[in-house]
Amino acid sequence: MSKRFIVSPGGKLSGSMQVPGDKSMSHRSVIFGALAEGTTHVSGLLEGEDVLATIAAFRAMGVNIEGPDEGRLVIHGAGLHGLQKPQHDLDMGNSGTAMRLLSGLLSGQSFATRLIGDKSLSARPMRRVVDPLSEMGAKISTAEGGTPPLQIEPIDSLHAINYQMPMASAQVKSCLLLAGLYAEGKTCVTEPAPTRDHTERMLRGFGYPVTSDGARVCLEPGFRLAATDMMVPGDISSAAFFIVGSTISKDSRIEIKNVGINPTRTGILFILKQMGADIELKNERTIGGEPVADLVVQSAPLHGIHVDEKHVPLAIDEFPAILVAAACASGETVLSGAEELRVKESDRIAVMARGLANIGIDVIETPDGMRVQGGQIQGGAVDSHGDHRIAMAFAMAALQSNAEIQIDDCDNVATSFPDFQALAGSCGLGIRVINT
């Protein structure tokens, strides 16, 4: 059985809402809570399938974790050297974040592990973490083609490296920093462009020293993580769909409370404001070292832009929603420098281009992005290819459609936004789900 979204044309969004907890931070809170000494209390956790896979992996390695219960989790940390050999493969499901981060952590353990995933994850590239980990002395192998499963064997010790990343990737950076916790010497990673910095912030929050100097971040072994209490803010990647939906639909106004606005994550706000969006940040504050605000979004006419490539890494997960906004804008929007979108849960450049064309939008696909000519959305059928963000983006496109939009293969929406249908429906989107 597979889930299909059927979304009615037109309508508007209104009301006040809270989106699920930040997925990136939820993963990391589980990881660092498990490696800390003492008991960590987490609130606001995303109870999506990706994060549940991370929780299950640490339980399989002997960590006592209570919950999740309405976003609350209690983690009785095992310490940096307290993990135990799992009795079975660790199944990361659909989560590239979990697999890449855990590959770094597990490369420094005294036992063997095997990381597996679902069909989509099993096609995603892992050489980007395997190659630098191998430089550190890790004994790690992939399937043919550099994809999962990952087989990790124990070694005597890792050695630190000074790694110049060839592409901007918070997952690669975080993987190597986690490996650096177990490496001899100072591990440093230099990024070609800024990426989300939740790992560095959270390590410091757990009392582990991390140094940053411009694009370079470093750490050394020999310290401990101390348990702490954490509150995970709302995920701006989940808020993105409602930001775009309210922007493109006439007479809409929504307030999204308690959204994380980490400056390494707010590319979508900058891009949409450049296009003419009406987005106001209210009640800005800091919670657990992370900036948070309430977002008020009202409908506004949009115009096409050439997306500045320096903002691409800061909005990489939000482009399915941004491209729907481009489809509703006057003029042409040009996206380039976004090759990373081809190796997400799907080839997001190809799948978005086909989907937009299927609903009447003129699109030219390019190797590293696309050109989108804004126009009238006509309705039609879209295949999300199991990509949660593409499914939710096209659901919002129906607000500007003159006919129903059908979106197939929507099961994986539960990986990041288990209650998407209910929340979207309560705000005014005419969405229903059928099993096919």
DSSP reduced 3-state for 116:
strand
Q: How far apart are the C-alpha atoms of 235 and 34, rounded to whole Å?
A: 22
What phi and psi, each to the nearest 5 degrees, are found at residue 250? -60, 140
Query: Taking the CA of residue 73 as centre, how many other CA atoms within 13 Å lie in the half-sphere pointing to its CB?
Result: 35
Can you give the C-alpha Rg of the chain in angstroms?
21
DSSP reduced 3-state for 190:
strand
368-396 burial code (b ≥16 CB/10 A, e <16):
ebbbbbbbebebbebbbbbbbbbbbbbbb
DSSP reduced 3-state for 157:
coil
Q: Of the listed 118, 317, 383, 387, which one is catalytic?
A: 317
| Whether 317 is catalytic | yes
The answer to whether 347 and 311 have CB atoms below 8 angstroms apart is no
Task: Count Cβ atoms within 10 A of the Cβ of residue 88 and give its class: 0-12 exposed, 13-18 middle, 19 or more buried.
Answer: exposed
Q: How far apart are the C-alpha atoms of 333 and 353, rounded to whole Å?
A: 13
* Catalytic positions: 317
